[in-house]
Structure 1
Amino acid sequence: MAIDAQTFRASLGRFASGVTVVTTSHGEQRAGLTVSAFSSVSLEPPLILVCIDKRSSAIDQIDASQVFAVHILSEAQVDLSNRFASRSEDKFAGLDFEKSAFGNPKLPDALVFLDCRVSQKIDAGDHFIYVGLIEEAEVAEEKQPLVYFSGGYRSLME
């Protein structure tokens, strides 16, 4: 018998994870969301995965463009995480960003930036799993990561 949603959330909330923002665009439309379900998949070829709720407005744009970017956030980027976790209509309003080689919004000051091409889309319950082939990666100078644990942001220095 499967566990209930409350037990599932309480259980996995005890798994410390990094915080990422996934961005994409198709034409003039942009989308972005905060994602903690992110993982490396393969070294050869270089693959990662992100899990995105099927209700997300980003799904249609990722499916149309077949590209997305992942920003691994630093501990100084709590506001950015909260911005992209919100239900705001235009999460990019007033935000300074560039476009990546694939046209994805590229947010400033991320710990890591990964520009990806969709390799696979897997239907998994109430989420889709997107496997991305990393085409470009940028790693910032040494910064501390933003960590999420038990319903809140944490620092590795605590």
Structure 2
Amino acid sequence: MAIDAQTFRASLGRFASGVTVVTTAFGEGQAGLTVSAFSSVSLDPPLILVCIDKRSSAIERIDGSQAFAVHVLSESQVDLSNRFASRSEDKFAGVSVARSALGNPRLEDTLVFLDCRVSQKVDAGDHFIYIGQIEEAEIQEEKQPLVYFSGGYRSLAK
């Protein structure tokens, strides 16, 4: 028998994870959302995955553009995480954004930036799993990651 949703959430809430913002653009619109379900998949070719709720408005834009960007947030970017986790109509208002080589909105000063082309889309329950091939990566070595654990943000202590 499968566990109930409450036990599932409580169990996985005890798994510390980094915090990412996924952005994409298609046509005249752009979308962004905070995602903690992010993982490496393959070194050769360089693949990652993100899991996105099927109700997300980003789905239509990722499917249209066949591209998305992943921004790994630094410990100073809690506000950015909260902004993109909200249901706000314009999450990009007041945020400085450039365009990546693949046309994705690129946020400034994140710990890691990954520009990805969709390699595969997998239907998985109430989410879609997008596997992306990394076309460009940029790392800010001097920053520390934002961590999410047990319902709250954390910082890594050295």
Common fold: TM-score over 0.5: yes
Partners in 2 of 1:48 and 1:84 — Cα distance? 20
- What secondary structure, in the 3-state scheme, does the structure 2 residue paired with 1:76 have? coil
Match of 2:128 in 1: 128
> What is the 5 A alignment of 1:53-68?
53-68=53-68
How far has the Cα of 1:25 moved from its partner?
A: 0.1
Provide the residue aligned with 1:14 in structure 2: 14
Q: Which residue of 2 aligns with 1:94?
A: 94
**Per-residue CA shift, 1:6-61, capped at 9, x if unaligned?**
00000000000000000000022000000000000000000000000000000000
User: 1:141, CA displacement in angstroms?
Assistant: 2.9
Rounded Cα–Cα distance in structure 1 between residues aligned with 2:6 and 2:141? 39
Matches within 5 A, 1:1-158: 1-157=1-157
Q: Secondary structure at 1:91's aligned position in 2?
A: coil
Q: Over residues 103-146 of structure 1, what are the superposed CA-to-partner deviations in whole Å (9 max), with x where a residue is unaligned?
A: 10000000000000000000000000000000000011321100
Give the counterpart letter for 1:14 in structure 2: R
Unaligned runs of 5+ in 1: none
User: SS at 1:75's partner residue?
Assistant: coil
Amino acid at match of 2:77: Q
Question: Normalised by the size of structure 2, how large is the TM-score?
Answer: 0.99
Report the 3-state secondary structure (helix = DSSP H, G, I; strand = E; otherwise coil) of the residue aligned with 1:41: strand
**TM-score (structure 1 length as normaliser):** 0.99
CA distance in structure 1 between the partners assigned to 2:156 and 2:54 by the alignment: 32
Identity of aligned residues (%): 83
